[in-house]
A = this chain, B = another copy of it.
Amino acid sequence: VRVEPTTLEFLARLAGGVVVGDATTTIRSAWPLADVQPQCVTLVEDAKRGHHAASLGAGAIVVREPIDGLSLPQLVVRDPHAAFAAIVTWFRPPCDRGPEGIHSSARIDPSALLGEQCAIAAGASIGAAVRVGSRCRIHANVVVMDGCVIGDEVTLMPGVVLYPNTVLEDRVWIHAGSVIGAFGFGYRTRQGVHTRAAQLGYAHIEQDVEVGACVTIDRGTYGTTRIGRGTKIDNQVMIAHNCQIGPNNLICSQVGIAGSCRTGEGVILAGQVGLKDHVTLGPRTIVGAQAGVMNDLDGDAVYLGSPATTQRTQMQIFASQQRLPEMRKTMKQLQQAIDGLQSQLVALSEADDPHAEPVKAA
């Protein structure tokens, strides 16, 4: 952590922007709004938050467009996120050196093949017949079991476990605590006793996939569970055996995907979504948080609710549900009105002909 302060002018040169206000202002640090401190510069994405930043005591702000009538000096830049990232990095340069070389306590089976410039940290285990590409970083206490195949520039954060025969392509990044290739939840049941199905497949994760922390991706029964290139998976996601996840999907936290599901390119699943087994989602399907998908869905559309339906229908259903108690009241009133009308009719028909029977309802 850097302790000496600087000027806003210096940061403007660093980030490639223009100062509106006093460029000689002293800046001691850089923090987002939630952590604002005196004499720090902060990021303002929404012009309405400019005065909020001032009231919190920030020393200056980074913005895309200058905000009128603001007492704080402003650093105006084309890409505020990139600029703020550069400034934060200047004040707090990342201190993570990561592993270097092969630690003496790493256990590497003699039959494993390692590429150039791999780092393997303390307590990591590399099993028999494993192949690892070049420039991989395998952190502390990772376990790579027998027969795994790992591409170049793969990062496995601490405690990751790869079951036997897992395949990771280039630049895959897996966060701590995730388990790839464990057994699928498949059993044959006879007379109430469950016997495990075949576990002869493996998990295959294509290039540029990022997998969050504490994720589980099970192996296929006979072949692959596959995650398509460029797909990003958040923490605590569960992907079951035989799934074929398409490329460039975004799968948010705590999503559960049952066995043998398929997704197309660019699918987005929001938090806590569940997919029934054998469901197929078309390209660019978007499913809202907590939805439960029971059937195949066409792509290029948004779905909500459990069971999931189109956004348009589900928004109407949600709105109607909010009015359900009122609807029940209205129904009672309608019933009363009908009873009243019935009485009036009887009275009227009797007045018309006191001796006649009232007309029967159809």
Contacts and interface: CB of A to CB of B under 8 A. Distances in A.
A359 B31 CA distance: 74
A185 B161 contact: no
A240 B271 CA distance: 11
Could you say which of A234, A242, A309 has the most chain B C-beta atoms within 10 Å of its C-beta?
A234
Interface residues of A, number: 138
Contacts of A362: 336, 339-340, 343-344
Interface string A117-143: 000011101011100000000011101
Contacts of A252: 185, 258
Interface stretch (A8-16, A19-27, A209-217, A295-303): A209-217
A289 interface: yes
Contacts of A196: 210
Nearest to A274: B272
B222 A238 contact: no
Copies of this chain, complex-wide, total: 3
B179 A177 contact: yes
A24 to B, nearest CB: 24
A50 interface: no
A230 B193 contact: yes
B317 A95 contact: no
Interface in A71-106: 81, 84-85, 88-89, 92, 94-98, 103, 105
Interface in A241-287: 242, 244, 248, 250, 252-254, 256, 258, 260, 262, 265-266, 271-272, 274, 276
Contacts of A336: 361-362
A228 B133 CA distance: 43
Could you say which of A94, A143, A183, A221 has the most chain B C-beta atoms within 10 Å of its C-beta?
A143
A116 interface: no
A217 B337 CA distance: 58
Contact of A143 (B140, B161, B192, B253): B140
Contacts of A274: 254, 271-272, 289-290
B187 A250 contact: yes
Contact of A97 (B31, B140, B146): B146
Interface in A15-44: 30-32, 34-35, 43
Interface string A195-216: 0111011000000001011101
Contact of A95 (B141, B165, B222): B165
Interface string A140-175: 110101110000000001110101110000000001
A30 B224 CA distance: 12
Given A34-B244, A213-B216, A272-B292, 12 more contacts: A31-B222, A34-B260, A139-B143, A159-B161, A176-B179, A185-B234, A194-B230, A330-B331, A339-B362, A341-B345, A348-B352, A351-B352
10 contacts: A161-B213, A192-B265, A213-B218, A256-B272, A272-B292, A276-B289, A317-B322, A320-B325, A339-B361, A340-B362
